[in-house]
C-alpha cells in the first residue's frame, strides 16, 4: 500500500512553543501523555503506584472491619448482633481477598474504577452496619468520614465526587429512617454540616492535587520533547531518529511494506559559515529544517543527524516517490528566496534481498556521496545491486 504524500502535512513554520504533531510521533517513547482534567486516570499510571494505592485502601477497609468486630465483642447486648457478626465476617473475607489480588488488579485497565467501586462498597458496608446497629446513635457512624477522605488523597475529582455523594446520601437516609431519633435537630444539623464540609474539602483537595499532577506531567513531557528535538531546526535529534528509524524499518520488514530513506547534506556549508558567520549558518539550517518538515507527513521521521546532515524516513513510500520528494525539497528550498545554498540527497529503499536497517542506512549514505562526488545539487536513487 502506498500513501498519498500530499496528505497529512504539517505547517512549515509552527509556533515556537508548539510541538508539531509529526515530531511528537517521532519523539521519545518515554514521553508522558497528559490526560484531560475530567478524564478518569488509570491507563497511563504506573502499576506500582496503583498497587500501593489498592493495598492501602484494602488495609484501611480491613482495619475498619476489625474495629467493628472489637465493637461487637464489647457490646454483645446490642441489636442484631448475629447479623452484624455475619456481615463483619463477610466484609473481612472480601477485604482480605481484595488485598491478595491487589497486584493483579493494579495491572488492569479498569483499576481506577475497581478501586472507586470498592470505596463506594465500603460506604455501603458502614452505612448498613450503622442502620442495623442503633442508627446514628452507633459510634460506628464516625467511620463514614474515612472513605471520601481516602478518595481525596487517591482519586480524580469525578471519582471523589461520586464517593462523597454516596456517603452523603447514605447518611441522609440513615437520618430519615432513624426511628430512634438518636440526634436532636441541632445535633443532626451540626453532624450533616460537618460531613458536607468534609466532602467539599475532599473534592477541593482532589481537584488541586489533580491540577498539580497535570502540571508536573506537562513539565516532564516538555523536558522529554526538548531532549528529543533539535531546537535550531525542529527536527528529531540523531539518537531519536535512529531509534525511530529502526522501529519503522522493523515494522516494514514484519508486514512486507515499503519504506524509503533520504540522506541530505548541505553543499559547501563551510563557505556559508566562513562568509556569513555562524548566524548565517544557523539561519540556513533552520530554513532547511522548516522545508523538510513542511514536506513531511505525520508518519514520516525527520531528523538532524549532526552538523549540516539531515535524514527523512518515509514509511509506506516507494523509492521513486521518495526521489520525487527529494527533488521537491531542493526546489522548495530555493523558492524560499532566503538562501542560495543547494542540497545533495541520497535516496534508497529497503532491499528485497537481505533487507535490514543497517544496510538501508549504508545505501542512502552511499547514494549521498555519489552525488557529492559528482558536484552536488542533485538527488540520486541508488539502484538495488
Look up cell 532491499; give the residue: 351
Indicate if the pLDDT at residue 9 is higher than 90. no
Range from 152-156, 181-185, 265-269 that averages highest in pLDDT: 265-269
Whether 135 is in a domain gets the answer yes
The enclosing domain of 340 has a CATH number of 3.30.70.270
Domain that holds residue 200: 47-223
Which of 180, 197, 223 represents a domain boundary (last residue)? 223
In this structure, the answer to whether residues 91 and 200 fall within a common structural domain is: yes
Look up cell 477541593; give the residue: 204
In this structure, the answer to whether residues 214 and 277 fall within a common structural domain is: no
In this structure, the answer to whether residues 249 and 210 fall within a common structural domain is: no
Indicate if the pLDDT at residue 29 is higher than 50. no
In this structure, the answer to whether residues 237 and 284 fall within a common structural domain is: yes
In this structure, the answer to whether residues 202 and 237 fall within a common structural domain is: no
Indicate if the pLDDT at residue 179 is higher than 70. no
- Please tell me which residue, 65 or 195, carries the higher pLDDT value: 65
Are 314 and 260 within 8 A, CB to CB?
yes
Indicate if the pLDDT at residue 79 is higher than 70. yes
What is the 3 state secondary structure string of the chain? CCCCCCCCECCCCCCCCCCCHHHHHCCCCCCCCCCCCCCCCCCCCCHHHHHHHHHHHHHHHHHHHHHHHHHHHHCCCCCCHHHHHHHHHHHHHHHHHHHHCHHHHCCCCCHHHHHHHHHHHHHHHHHHHHHHHECECCHHHHHHHHHHHHHHHHCCHHHHHHHHHHHHHHHHHHHHCCCCCCCCHHHHHHHHHHHHHHHHHHHHHHHHHHHHHHHHHHHHHHHHHHHHECCCCCCECHHHHHHHHHHHHHHHHHHCCCEEEEEEEECCHHHHHHHHHHHHHHHHHHHHHHHHHHCCECCCEEEEEECCEEEEEEECCCHHHHHHHHHHHHHHHHHCCCCCCCEEEEEEECCCCCCCHHHHHHHHHHHHHHHHHCCCCEEEECCCC
Indicate if the pLDDT at residue 165 is higher than 80. yes
pTM of the entire predicted model: 0.52
Question: Using CA atoms, how far apart are residues 43 and 50, in angstroms rounded to an integer?
Answer: 11
In this structure, the answer to whether residues 161 and 287 fall within a common structural domain is: no
Which of 192, 223, 254 represents a domain boundary (last residue)? 223
The set of cell numbers assigned to 147 is 472513605
Which of 188, 223, 258 represents a domain boundary (last residue)? 223
Whether 12 is in a domain gets the answer no
Instruction: Give the least confident one: 13-17, 184-188, 202-206.
Output: 13-17
Question: Using CA atoms, how far apart are residues 364 and 286, in angstroms rounded to an integer?
Answer: 23
Whether 8 is in a domain gets the answer no
Indicate if the pLDDT at residue 34 is higher than 50. no
In this structure, the answer to whether residues 242 and 200 fall within a common structural domain is: no
| Counted domains in the chain | 2
pLDDT for residue 71 = 93
pLDDT for residue 225 = 61
Indicate if the pLDDT at residue 16 is higher than 50. no
Whether 154 is in a domain gets the answer yes
pLDDT for residue 222 = 66
In this structure, the answer to whether residues 149 and 244 fall within a common structural domain is: no
pLDDT digits (tens, 9 = 90+) for 201-245: 888 888 888 888 788 777 776 666 666 788 889 898 888 888 888
Amino acid at each position: 500500500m502506498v500513501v498519498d504524500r500530499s496528505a497529512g502535512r504539517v505547517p512549515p513554520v509552527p509556533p515556537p512553543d508548539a510541538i508539531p504533531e509529526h515530531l511528537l510521533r517521532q519523539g521519545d517513547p518515554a514521553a508522558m501523555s497528559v490526560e484531560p482534567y475530567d478524564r478518569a486516570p488509570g491507563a497511563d499510571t504506573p502499576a506500582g503506584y496503583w498497587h500501593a494505592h489498592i493495598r492501602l485502601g484494602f488495609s484501611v477497609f480491613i482495619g475498619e472491619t476489625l474495629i467493628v468486630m472489637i465493637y461487637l465483642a464489647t457490646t454483645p447486648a446490642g441489636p442484631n448482633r448475629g447479623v452484624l457478626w455475619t456481615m463483619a465476617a463477610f466484609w473481612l473475607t472480601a477485604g482480605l481477598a481484595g488485598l491478595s489480588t491487589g497486584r493483579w488488579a493494579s495491572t488492569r485497565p479498569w483499576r481506577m474504577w475497581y478501586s472507586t467501586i470498592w470505596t463506594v462498597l465500603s460506604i455501603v458496608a458502614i452505612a448498613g452496619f450503622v442502620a442495623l446497629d442503633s442508627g446514628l446513635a452507633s459510634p460506628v457512624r464516625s467511620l463514614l468520614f474515612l472513605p471520601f477522605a481516602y478518595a481525596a488523597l487517591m482519586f480524580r475529582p469525578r471519582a471523589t465526587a461520586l464517593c462523597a455523594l454516596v456517603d452523603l446520601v447514605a447518611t441522609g437516609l440513615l437520618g430519615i429512617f432513624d426511628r430512634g431519633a438518636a440526634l436532636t435537630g441541632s445535633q443532626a444539623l451540626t453532624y450533616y454540616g460537618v460531613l458536607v464540609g468534609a466532602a467539599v474539602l475532599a473534592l477541593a483537595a482532589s481537584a488541586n492535587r489533580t491540577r498539580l499532577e497535570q502540571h508536573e506531567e506537562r513539565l516532564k513531557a516538555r523536558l522529554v520533547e526538548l531532549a528529543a528535538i533539535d531546537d535550531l531546526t525542529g527536527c528529531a535529534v540523531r539518537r531519536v531518529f535512529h531509534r525511530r528509524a529502526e522501529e519503522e524499518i522493523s515494522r516494514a520488514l514484519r508486514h512486507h511494506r515499503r519504506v524509503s530513506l533520504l540522506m541530505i547534506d548541505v553543499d559547501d556549508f563551510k563557505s556559508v559559515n566562513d562568509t556569513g558567520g555562524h548566524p548565517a549558518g544557523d539561519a540556513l539550517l533552520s530554513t532547511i529544517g522548516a522545508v523538510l518538515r513542511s514536506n513531511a507527513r505525520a508518519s514520516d521521521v525527520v531528523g538532524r543527524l549532526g552538523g549540516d546532515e539531515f535524514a527523512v524516513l518515509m514509511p509506506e513510500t516507494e523509492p521513486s516517490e521518495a526521489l520525487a520528494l527529494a527533488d521537491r525539497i531542493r526546489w522548495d528550498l530555493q523558492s524560499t528566496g532566503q538562501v542560495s545554498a543547494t542540497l545533495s540527497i541520497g535516496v534508497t529503499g529497503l532491499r528485497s534481498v537481505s533487507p535490514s536497517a543497517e544496510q538501508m542506512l549504508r545505501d542512502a549514505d552511499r547514494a549521498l556521496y555519489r552525488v557529492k562526488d559528482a558536484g552536488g545539487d542533485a538527488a540520486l536513487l541508488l539502484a538495488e545491486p
